[in-house]
Homo-oligomer: A and B are copies of this chain.
């Protein structure tokens, strides 16, 4: 891992996520991202030689961040807490953030559906891992899918649930997870 000498790269990625969230996934143009990041278009293209590379970086950063958070929560987990429980807690916290943290995904899909493949692979891997660690398959299925539903609602910004309901849901899931 080379030492970063500038933070332009990160600024650009953050700007891209912001633009996607605020002006809609279809309006994620290089110009918009560049101006939002306080960088010229040339500078943007210097960091990410093509739009596809920008999207790819967005995906990779997102996945890496989640993976690190999951690992951290696992090792820091209170003794006796099941992996499924930590997964539920972490995902619920993540989904409780007011900003739909990943609405840039829509931009990526619109650009090229293949950007989903790493995400799919990651999910499958996480799921398989949980499957190996959870004795009760039924509980795993219900909890995993419910969390996926929570993620989906956050992504589509359709918060049907009240805060109380969300809390009740999470506690129910933790109960099911045992």
- A interface residues with partner B (beta carbon < 8 Å): 24-26, 106-107, 109-113, 116, 119-120, 123-124, 127, 137-138, 141-142, 144-153, 156-158, 160-161, 165, 168-169, 172-173, 176
Are A142 and B110 closer than 8 Å at their CB atoms? no
**Can you list 28 A-B contacts with CB-CB less than 8 angstroms, sorted by A residue number?**
A24-B109, A25-B109, A25-B110, A26-B109, A26-B111, A26-B112, A106-B109, A110-B110, A120-B157, A123-B160, A124-B158, A124-B160, A127-B160, A138-B168, A141-B165, A141-B172, A142-B169, A142-B173, A145-B145, A145-B146, A145-B149, A148-B148, A148-B149, A148-B152, A149-B150, A149-B151, A149-B152, A152-B152
Residues of chain B with a CB closer than 8 A to A113's CB = 24-25
User: What is the minimal beta-carbon distance from A123 to any residue of chain B, in angstroms?
Assistant: 6
For the residues of A in contact with B, the DSSP-based class is helix
Contact indicator B123/A158 (Cβ below 8 Å): yes
| Minimum distance in angstroms from A140 CB to a CB of chain B | 9
For A122, the closest partner residue in chain B by CB is: B158
**Contact between chains at B142 and A146 (CB < 8 Å):** yes
* Contact, CB under 8 Å: B168 / A119: no
- Contact call A141/B112, Cβ cutoff below 8 A: no
A157 touches B123 (CB 8 A): no
